[in-house]
Amino acid sequence: MTDVPLHPPVEPYATHRIPVGDGHVLHVEEVGRPDGVPLVFLHGGPGGGLVPAARRFFDPGRFRAVLFDQRGAGRSTPFGEVRANTTGHLVADLETIRRRLGVESWLVFGGSWGVTLGLAYAQAHPDRVTGLVLRGVLLLRRAERDWFYQGGLRHLQPEEWDRFVAPIPPAERDDVLAAYHRRLHGPDDDEARACARAWGRWEAVNSSLRPDPETLDHFTDDGRALPIARILSHYAVHGGFLTEGQLLDGVDRIRHLPAVIVNGRYDLCCPPASAYDLARRWPEAELRIVPDAGHSATEPGIARELLRAVDRVADRIG
């Protein structure tokens, strides 16, 4: 992390446990200054949870940043729970958090799955959003899911693709995603855990331009791999609980909001075609393609663009 130009490490000035119904309780933290520019951070995954570095994308002297673990993720409970866990539930959770903390409206900062959720939330509640910073655009269209889970990416990662599909019998590899979903949510715990480790490795090795050992450990750790993989597969197999093209079709509801879209040129999880498609539907948004970066927010080029973007959007909203 020494070559990543983030703000210094910072601890939350407040933490909360917020019940949102259906047995789910969310871990929520506030960072920066209570009278600062309100901002909400949406982590990736889904199911990925917060990491301490997430707090470092915002100037603590300027922002009141709200960060939280989404349903089933991180320190929210119950960990790994997929019941009552859909995009609609997460959008409603954002409103619950906003009202609980007394925030009138806020800047939305999301990466990867956080882009999906951020767009869904902003389109549902445009009057509660002041602007958006979006990194690694994921719209969860069929082509994106096929690229990552059904073999498109094997042309760039052939040896890792073979590792990924190894737990799936050849007869079921016409739909790798569905086959994984059955096993991750099936009755055989040993099989589910083995599949979760293979799934986690595939996610991790594609999450940055150069594979990061810490990310690999995070996604394949025995205590985290299965809960994370279950939530990821739950959302992926259901297309994010969105209709095909829904987030592009809803852009007109938010075109008036200031926005910056950041994507790595060599992002294997979220190739820049989706960022480009979003920018074409949203010409008022600023598109920044980082030429020497992959997917991770902590790659130096991505981090620099995000730090600049969040300040530029805050400048525009006053």
Task: Please report the DSSP string for 274-297 in residue order.
Answer: HHHHHHHH-TTSEEEEETT--S-T
Q: Count how many Cα atoms sit within 13 Å of the Cα of residue 181 in the half-sphere of its side chain.
A: 16
Q: Count how many Cα atoms sit within 13 Å of the Cα of residue 270 in the half-sphere of its side chain.
A: 30
CA atoms of 62 and 37, how far apart (whole Å): 6
CA atoms of 183 and 60, how far apart (whole Å): 43
| Residue from 264, 268, 48, 80 nearest 158 by CA | 268
- CB atoms under 10 Å from CB of 244, counted, come to 12
- CB atoms under 10 Å from CB of 56, counted, come to 21
User: How high is the pLDDT of residue 3?
Assistant: 62
Q: pLDDT in tens for each of the 318 residues of the chain? A: 446 689 999 999 999 999 999 999 999 999 999 999 999 999 999 999 999 999 999 999 999 999 999 999 999 999 999 999 999 999 999 999 999 999 999 999 999 999 999 999 999 999 999 999 999 999 999 999 999 999 999 999 999 999 999 999 999 999 999 999 999 999 999 999 999 999 999 999 999 998 888 888 888 888 999 999 999 999 999 999 999 999 999 999 999 999 999 999 999 999 999 999 999 999 999 999 999 999 999 999 999 999 999 999 999 997
What homologous superfamily does CATH list for 14-139+242-317? Alpha/Beta hydrolase fold, catalytic domain (3.40.50.1820)
Q: Is the peptide bond before 170 cis (omega within 30 degrees of 0)?
A: no
Output phi, psi for 188, to 5 deg: -90, 100
* Domain limits, the chain: 14-139+242-317, 143-240
Catalytic positions? 112, 267, 295
User: How high is the pLDDT of residue 263?
Assistant: 98
- CB atoms under 10 Å from CB of 222, counted, come to 9
User: How high is the pLDDT of residue 1?
Assistant: 40
Q: Are 212 and 204 spatial neighbours (Cβ–Cβ below 8 Å)?
A: yes
DSSP annotation of 259: E
The beta strands (E) that lie in 218-285 are given as 259-264
By three-state DSSP, how is residue 168 classified?
Answer: coil
Q: Are 276 and 250 spatial neighbours (Cβ–Cβ below 8 Å)?
A: no
CA atoms of 69 and 17, how far apart (whole Å): 10
Structure tokens at 303: 């981090």
Helix or strand run (H / E) with residue 26: strand 24-32
Q: Are 260 and 285 spatial neighbours (Cβ–Cβ below 8 Å)?
A: yes
Structure tokens at 16: 């909360």
